[in-house]
Amino acid sequence: MSEPRAYQGRRSILTKWASAATGQAVWCTSTVQMDAAMLLDFDADIVCFQSGVVQVHWELEGRHGTVEPAFVARTRDGRRLVFSRPPRDESGVEERVLRQAGDEAGWEIRPLQVPQGVLRSSLENAAHFSSPEFAPDDHVREVLLEVFAAPRPLQAGALASGLGLKAPGYAWHLVWTGELTCDWTKPLLPTSPVWASQAADAEEA
């Protein structure tokens, strides 16, 4: 994910993702890796993640090298996840090294997913409201979940809640946390229908 990429005349870019889950900066060496960080931050099962904290050194038949995963993470139930970068060559050595290290250390190795197209732009829209300043208190959350018990346009439903001008920001935050959901195969806009996740779960049950 951090292979050099053309960016305003430079070969790479150092940037960071501000994690809503931990409040920490997650450093990324490409915009692609930053998009992957956004997707990890959106995953409600992941409570913390970071980059650049693990290196695995290997030596085999006179060759040697270093494997650095894109991210390491911890889940709510205590599992340790290691997200691998795409292989740099066809030998598969780095993948085998990382999986062996994972088996010995108790890591769960996963390929890194990068959001594309509609999903990427929709997550980016919701991520603008991911910070704690948009987090509603319990009363506001209860009102909004009741307002969106059935699908209705995000902006219109928020303004109809009677919670004032801050209501849309609160509603967007609940979309980011997963308490409100939508059709992620379509662009997420202020006019998009959203609904309470618990209502969807109740219908499925």
Q: How confident is the model at residue 10 (pLDDT cuts 50, 70, 90)?
A: low
Number of domains in the chain: 2
Looking at the domain assignment, is residue 2 inside a domain? no
Token code pair at residue 102: 């994972």
pTM (2 d.p.) = 0.85
In this structure, are 122 and 165 located in the same domain? Answer: yes
In angstroms, rounded to a whole number, what is the distance separating the alpha carbons of residues 94 and 184? 34
In this structure, are 160 and 84 located in the same domain? Answer: no
Q: What's 85's DSSP letter? A: P
Are 15 and 1 in contact, with CB atoms under 8 Å apart? no
The phi, psi pair for 203, rounded to 5°, reads -65, -40
Check pLDDT > 90 for residue 76.
yes
In this structure, are 104 and 121 located in the same domain? Answer: no
In this structure, are 33 and 54 located in the same domain? Answer: yes
Task: Report the share of the chain in percent with pLDDT over 90.
Answer: 69
The continuous run of DSSP H or E covering 109 comes out as: strand 107-111
Are 94 and 69 in contact, with CB atoms under 8 Å apart? no
Check pLDDT > 80 for residue 200.
no
Q: Which of 111, 145, 171 is the last residue of a domain?
A: 111
pLDDT computed for residue 204 by the predictor: 44
Q: Which domain holds residue 162?
A: 117-204
Are 113 and 160 in contact, with CB atoms under 8 Å apart? no
In this structure, are 181 and 149 located in the same domain? Answer: yes
